[in-house]
Structure formats: structure tokens, C-alpha cells
Amino acid sequence: MMTTRKEFDHGLEQLHNLLVEMGTFVEEALVDSMKALSGTDTEKARAIINNDQHLNNLEDKITDLGSKLIATQQPVAKDLRRILAAFKIASDLERMGDLCVNIAKFVIRLEGQPLIKPLIDLPRMAEIVQTMTYESIQSFVQENVDLAYKLATEDDQVDALCAQISRELLSLMMENPRNISQATVLNFVARNIERIGDHATNIGESVVYLVTNKRPDLNTQHSI
């Protein structure tokens, strides 16, 4: 006779919803940070920094809810891994939010000065990472291993773009030492976006662990 565990399943659904909320928040923070960068908009950058506390609160909620489910429902096997994965994913998302905050802080450091070059590859990178963030959460909600593995391939594209941006910025610095200050900031921005992509890939690893009980290394498997 099949039975359901209403209380537990309801708790899992709440965990899913909170993670989706965190994922959406990170996507928006990333989009906003890129808008703030392209417009060197310090107001928008400050808003990103101020809003980050909400993401931290969501992570705390996930920790509390997951702990409650473990204590009261005593899950085992895949049910237990669902909660352990949720903890890990929440931690990754919280860190992704912090990296968006870093980008916002770099924008403030630019003090509204015009950019040394039009932004082309950085927004492309951010777009891929935004998609990865969305897909990573979907792979968790759907327990979709294929989608999780897809993140590794996308992460390779991000890494390649990051390397390309670094080379380009190096050229600009060699061309004119006055570019060094801003080029360094833009390089840090690229590094932070690349790190956000790594965290999305980490989420994919958590999903593969959840479904298969095995721990793949998606960050190095396809690395360039």
C-alpha cells in the first residue's frame, strides 16, 4: 500500500520554494549588477548591497526548515539527501549573492567614470551565468541529472570568456597605463561572474549527488 508523508512532502515543497526564491533573487542581483556596471550607476549598486540581507535570511530559513524536517521527520536515503542538498545549494546561492555584492562594490569604486571600453563579453558571460543559475535550481526541483551535467559545459564557455576578457584587459593596460585601475576592476568583475558560474555548477553537483548518491566534479570535468 503506497502512503504519502504529507508533513514531510509539504516541508520539501517549502524548501523547493525557498530555493527557487533564492535562485530568482540571485538572477536579479546579477542582472542588476551588470546594469549598474554598464551605467556606472552607484545608486543601483548600493541597492544591491542593501538587499543582500534578504538572501541571507532566506538561507537561514532553509537551514531552520531543513533542520526541523531532519529532527521531526527523520528522513533517510534520498529524502535525507534532498535536505542535505538543499543546505548545500542554499549556501552556494548565498555565496553567489555575495559575489553580486562584490560586483556592486566595484561599480561604486568606479565613481561614475566612463568605461574604457564598451561592455560586450562581460554581459555575455553574465547572461550565460544567469541561465546557469536558473537551470541549476530547475535541475534541483526536477531532480534532473541531464540538466545538472549541462551546467558543466556552460561553465566551460564562461571560463573561456573569462580568460578572453582577461587577455583583452591586459592588452588595454599595456596600451595605456591609465587604463590599469579600471581594467583591474573589470577583471575582478569577470572573475566574480566566473565564480558565480562555479557555484551554479556546484549546485549541479549537489543534484547529481541527490539523485545518484555519487559525487561528480563538474567544475574540473570539462575544464579548459
Partner 1 sequence: MQTLLQTQPLININKLNLYYGAFHALKDVSLTIPEKAITAFIGPSGCGKSTLLRTLNRMNDMIPGTRIEGSIAIGGTEIYSSDVDVETLRKKVGMVFQQPNPFPKSIYDNVAYGPRLHGITNKKQLDEIVETSLKSAVLWDEVKDYLKRSALSLSGGQQQRLCIARAIAVNPDVLLMDEATSALDPISTLKIEELAQELKDRYTIVMVTHNMHQAARVSNQTVFFLNGEVVEFSETEKLFSNPSDQRTEDYISGRFG
Residues near partner 1 (CB under 8 A) are: 1-5, 8, 74-81, 213
How far apart (Å, rounded) are the C-alpha atoms in residues 52 and 3? 41
Q: Which is nearer to partner 1, 16 or 81 (CB)?
A: 81
Min separation Cβ 6 and partner 1, Å? 11
53 vs 213, which CB is nearer to partner 1?
A: 213
Backbone angles phi, psi at 195, to 5 degrees: -65, -35
Rounded to 10 deg, the angle between the 145-175 and 180-212 helix axes is 170
Chain centroid offset of residue 98 CA: 9
3-class SS of residue 143: coil
**CB 108, CB 48: distance < 8 Å:** no
Min separation Cβ 94 and partner 1, Å: 26
> Nearer to partner 1 by C-beta: 70 or 119?
70
Question: Min. distance of Cβ 76 from partner 1 in angstroms?
Answer: 5
Rounded Cα gap, residues 25 and 21, in angstroms = 6
Closest CA to 133 of 217, 56, 223, 22: 22
For partner 1, which is the closer residue by CB, 5 or 54?
Answer: 5
Least Cβ distance, residue 131 to partner 1 (angstroms): 31
The three three-digit cell numbers of residue 23, written as one number? 535562485
The least distance separating partner 1 from the CB of residue 143, rounded to whole angstroms, comes to 13
Which residue number, 2 or 224, has a Cβ lying nearer to partner 1? Answer: 2
